[in-house]
Amino acid sequence: MEKTAILEMKGITKKFENVMANDHIDLQLFPGEIHALLGENGSGKSTLMNVLLGIYKPNHGEIFFNGEKVNMKTPKNAADLGIGMVHQHFALIQPLSVAENIFLSIEKGSFILNQQKIEKQISEYSQKFALDVDPKAKIWQLSVGEQQRVEIMKLLCRDSRILVLDEPSAVLTPQEANEMFKTLRRMADEGKSVIVISHKMNEVMEHADRITVLKNGRIADEMLAAEASIERLTRAVVGERDIAQVIHKPQHQDKDLLVEATQLRVFNDKGLVALHDISFQLFEGEIFGIAGVAGSGQRELAEALAGVRKISSGSVAMKGVPITNKNIEERISMGISFIPEDRLKMGLIPGMNMMKNAILKEFKARDYSKYGILRNKSIRALTQSYVQRHDIKHGGLDLPVGLMSGGNQQKLLIAREINGKPLLIIAAYPVRGLDIGATVSIHQTLLEQRDRGACVLLISEELDEIFEMCDRVAVLCDGKLMGIRNTDETDYGEIGRMMSGESA
The binding site for another protein (CB under 8 A) comprises 16-17, 55-57, 59, 74-76, 91-96, 100, 103-105, 109-113, 138, 140, 306-308, 327-329, 332, 338, 340, 345-349, 351-352, 356, 359-361, 363-364, 369, 372-374, 376, 399-400, 402-403
Task: Say how many Å lie between the first and final Cα of the chain, rounded.
Answer: 40
Name 209's Cβ contacts closer than 8 Å, sequence gap at least 6.
33, 34, 35, 188, 224, 225
In angstroms, the CA 335 to CA 195 distance is 46
Output phi, psi for 186, to 5 deg. Answer: -60, -40
Strands 369-370 and 218-224: unpaired
Tell me whether residue 124 or residue 329 sits nearer to another protein (CB atom): 329
Sign of CA dihedral 477, 479, 480, 485: positive
Tell me whether residue 96 or residue 272 sits nearer to another protein (CB atom): 96
Output phi, psi for 52, to 5 deg. Answer: -60, -35
Asked if residues 388 and 441 have their Cβ atoms less than 8 Å apart, the reply is no
Strands (E), 191-272: 193-198, 210-215, 218-224, 257-267
Minimum gap (Å) between residue 399 Cβ and another protein: 6
Tell me whether residue 92 or residue 171 sits nearer to another protein (CB atom): 92
State whether residue 215 is helix, strand or coil.
strand
In angstroms, the CA 352 to CA 196 distance is 40
**In Å, how far are 249, 290, 302, 458 from 319, measured between CA atoms?**
25, 21, 18, 20
Minimum gap (Å) between residue 414 Cβ and another protein: 15
Find, among 60, 66, 72, the residue nearest to 13 by Cα: 60
Tell me whether residue 54 or residue 285 sits nearer to another protein (CB atom): 54
Tell me whether residue 112 or residue 321 sits nearer to another protein (CB atom): 112
Minimum gap (Å) between residue 375 Cβ and another protein: 9
Minimum gap (Å) between residue 177 Cβ and another protein: 25
Minimum gap (Å) between residue 103 Cβ and another protein: 6
Minimum gap (Å) between residue 278 Cβ and another protein: 23
Tell me whether residue 59 or residue 178 sits nearer to another protein (CB atom): 59
Minimum gap (Å) between residue 98 Cβ and another protein: 12
State whether residue 451 is helix, strand or coil.
helix
Tell me whether residue 9 or residue 426 sits nearer to another protein (CB atom): 426
Tell me whether residue 425 or residue 475 sits nearer to another protein (CB atom): 425
Minimum gap (Å) between residue 435 Cβ and another protein: 18
Minimum gap (Å) between residue 417 Cβ and another protein: 11
**In Å, how far are 26, 167, 288 from 52, measured between CA atoms?**
12, 16, 40
Tell me whether residue 67 or residue 372 sits nearer to another protein (CB atom): 372
Q: For residue 142, how far is the Cα from the chain centroid?
A: 23
State whether residue 261 is helix, strand or coil.
strand
DSSP 273: E
